[in-house]
C-alpha cells in the first residue's frame, strides 16, 4: 500500500488500493491501445518492427505484473503475479529466439501458450482480489478470454499454411485493452467505501 503525506498536518495517510488499481488498469489499457495501433499499421507492414512488438508485449506484461505486485504487498503476497512475471520473462526471451528464424509461426505458438498461462494467472489474481478490490469481474473475463485466445494462437502456429504476423495478436491485445479500460472506468465511478 502506498502512502500520501497531508500537507496541512504532515501526517501520513494510506492511499486507497482502488486509486492505484484505477491508474494501473488505465495505463495497461493505454499501452495495449498503442500496441495494437502500431501492430496493425507499422508492425504489419515492416516485419522487423513487428518482431520488436512481439517481444515487447510479454516484456510489458512482466513489468506491469511485477510493479502491481510490489505495490500490493510484494511478490510473496501475490504469487499469481510473481509467477506471471517470471513466465513472461522466459516468454520474452523465447519469442526473441524464435523470431531468429524467418518463420513467425513458432513465436505465435509461444505467445499462444503464454496467453493461456497468463490468462489463468490473471483470472486467479482477479478471484483473489474479488473481496478486497472492486472491478475484478472484467479481469476474470479477460483471463478466461486470454486462455481461449491463446488456444487459437497455438492452433494457428501449428498450421503452416496459416498467415500469421504481429497483427494476429492484435485482437487479443485489443480485448485486453477493453477489459483494463472497463476496470479503470468502474473504479473511477465507484464511490469510496
Residue 8 has pLDDT above 70, yes or no: no
How confident is the model over 100-122, as pLDDT tens digits? Answer: 888 999 999 999 999 999 999 99
pLDDT in tens, 136-155: 899 999 999 999 999 999 99
pLDDT at 12: 37
Q: What is the mean pLDDT of residues 63-80?
A: 94
DSSP letter (8 states) at residue 39:
I
Distance in angstroms (rounded) separating the CA atoms of residues 75 and 54: 26
Q: How far is CA 116 from CA 28, 84, 111, in A?
A: 19, 11, 9
Mean pLDDT, rounded, for 28-46: 96
Question: Is residue 70 over pLDDT 90?
Answer: yes
133: cell is 478490490
Which residues have C-beta within 8 Å of that of residue 53, sequence separation ≥ 6?
Answer: 35, 38, 39, 43, 166
**% of the chain beyond a pLDDT of 90:** 78
Domain range list for the chain = 16-189
Rounded to the nearest angstrom, the gap between the alpha carbon of residue 17 and the centroid of all alpha carbons in its chain is 19
pTM beyond 0.75, yes or no: yes
d(CA 5, CA 8): 9
pLDDT at residue 101, rounded to an integer: 84
Residues sharing a CB contact under 8 Å with residue 174, sequence separation 6 or more, in sequence order: 32, 33, 36
pLDDT band at 16 (very low <50, low <70, confident <90, very high): low
Amino acid at each position: 500500500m502506498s502512502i500520501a503525506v497531508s500537507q496541512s498536518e504532515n501526517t501520513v495517510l494510506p492511499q486507497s488500493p482502488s486509486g492505484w488499481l484505477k491508474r494501473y488498469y488505465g495505463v495497461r489499457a493505454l499501452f495495449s491501445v498503442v500496441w495494437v495501433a502500431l501492430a496493425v499499421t507499422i508492425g504489419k507492414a515492416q516485419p522487423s518492427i513487428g518482431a520488436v512488438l512481439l517481444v515487447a508485449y510479454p516484456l510489458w506484461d512482466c513489468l506491469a505484473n511485477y510493479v502491481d505486485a510490489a505495490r500490493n504487498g510484494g511478490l510473496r503476497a501475490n504469487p499469481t503475479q510473481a509467477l506471471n512475471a517470471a513466465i513472461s520473462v522466459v516468454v520474452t526471451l523465447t519469442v526473441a529466439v524464435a523470431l531468429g528464424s524467418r518463420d513467425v509461426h513458432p513465436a505465435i505458438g509461444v505467445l499462444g501458450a503464454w496467453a493461456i498461462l497468463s490468462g489463468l494467472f490473471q483470472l486467479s489474481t482477479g478471484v483473489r482480489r474479488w473481496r478486497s478490490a472492486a472491478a475484478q469481474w472484467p479481469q476474470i473475463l479477460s483471463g478466461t478470454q486470454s486462455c481461449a485466445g491463446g488456444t487459437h494462437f497455438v492452433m494457428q502456429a501449428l498450421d503452416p499454411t496459416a498467415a500469421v504476423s504481429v497483427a494476429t495478436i492484435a485482437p487479443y491485445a485489443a480485448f485486453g485493452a477493453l477489459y483494463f479500460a472497463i476496470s479503470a472506468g468502474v473504479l473511477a465511478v465507484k464511490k469510496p467505501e
